[in-house]
Amino acid sequence: MTQNGFVNIFWGPCRAFRAWRAVFRVELSLLRMDPRRRSDSTEKGAAAANDAAAPVSAAPGTVTMQLYHRLREDIIRGALAPGQKLKIDELCRSYEVGSSPLREALNLLTSFGFVERLEQRGFQVKPISADEYDDIVRCRCWIEERALREAIAHGDGAWEEDVTLALFRLDRAARVRHAAIDPEWEKLHHAFHMTLLAPCGSSILMEYCEHLFTQSIRYRQIAGLLELSVRDPQAEHAEIAKAVLERDADAAVALLCAHYRRTQDALKEKLFAAG
């Protein structure tokens, strides 16, 4: 990993750490209040993170926070393309908001690495690159290894049930619908991975895991459907869950990281092979 890449992916957001934690806490409260935004399998699996979330001054219903989520979703799914200039006047018209909440939302997105501020030229969607994606996957493996080992060490019987239920629901869901990844499957996929880590005992560690998960989903959404003819992702999920439930931390970590790296190889082949 390059030094600049590590700074951008991991330490860069720490410069806006208070904003970082505030937004994560708002997202956790949104998940609690709006059942449409979560799978039922997160109710227990994310309980530790939810209980640790303290009230914040930014109310979930504010225009800025609503706009933050709308913009972030459009960036993740590629509706706002990598490298696209974000012109304030155009965005105000498209999203039907004023310039002040828009700039506040863009500043939050900058803190999270979804948007870049251009020197005296406004904002743009952060471009994608093979190097950055490598950094994201590498950091996920580093951070989630610690989270998973702690979860296996401290998770109780209720957590084991949560893992089993999250895997069951993911297994039943259709991954593809209308030639695209089904959003419901994506929610269940997120719930499964976060449930694995939930009892790690650190809300800050979970925040980093959430952030890197979302960054990786952005790359996968932009890449579209990956070639999976030589893979069985659900079998990989089942193998990870089996190792977790057997409390075999070494095997679980190895399987989890291998799972991420297989996706990494397929995604890079699709997005960056021409380069």
* pLDDT tens column, 67-84: 999 999 999 989 999 999
Angle at 111 between CA 72 and CA 66, to 5 degrees: 35
Boundary residue ending a domain (106, 125, 144):
125
Q: Which pLDDT belongs to residue 223?
A: 86
> Is the confidence at residue 157, as pLDDT, over 50?
yes
Q: Determine the Cα–Cα distance for residues 232 and 174; give it in Å rounded to an integer.
A: 13
- Shared domain check, 148 and 56: no
Exposed e or buried b per residue across 107-132, where buried means at least 16 C-beta atoms within 10 angstroms of its C-beta: bbbbbbbbbbeeeeeebbbbebeeeb
Lowest mean pLDDT among 88-97, 177-186, 200-209, 253-262: 177-186
- Shared domain check, 254 and 143: yes
User: Which residue segment(s) compose the domain that 268 sits in?
Assistant: 130-272
- Higher model confidence: residue 15 or residue 76? 76
- Shared domain check, 149 and 113: no
Q: What is the average pLDDT value for the chain, to the nearest integer?
A: 82
Q: Is residue 153 very low, low, confident or very high in pLDDT (cuts 50, 70, 90)?
A: very high
What CATH number is given to the structural domain containing 220? 1.20.120.530
How confident is the model over 140-146, as a mean pLDDT?
98
- Shared domain check, 153 and 62: no
What CATH number is given to the structural domain containing 61? 1.10.10.10
Torsion, CA 128, CA 189, CA 192, CA 250, rounded to 10 = -50
> Is the confidence at residue 259, as pLDDT, over 60?
yes
Q: Determine the Cα–Cα distance for residues 47 and 43; give it in Å rounded to an integer.
A: 6
Q: Determine the Cα–Cα distance for residues 64 and 166; give it in Å rounded to an integer.
A: 32
How many structural domains are present in the chain? 2
Q: Is residue 181 very low, low, confident or very high in pLDDT (cuts 50, 70, 90)?
A: confident
Q: Which pLDDT belongs to residue 91?
A: 96
Boundary residue ending a domain (94, 125, 156):
125
Q: Determine the Cα–Cα distance for residues 18 and 147; give it in Å rounded to an integer.
A: 22
- Dihedral of alpha carbons 8, 267, 36, 70, sign: positive
- Shared domain check, 141 and 121: no
Look at the block and give the residue holding tokens 């209720």. Answer: 158
- Shared domain check, 134 and 265: yes
Q: Which pLDDT belongs to residue 225?
A: 67
Boundary residue ending a domain (125, 159, 176):
125
- Shared domain check, 186 and 252: yes
pTM, entire model: 0.77
- Higher model confidence: residue 57 or residue 106? 106
Alpha carbon of residue 33 to chain centroid: 20
Q: Which pLDDT belongs to residue 42?
A: 41
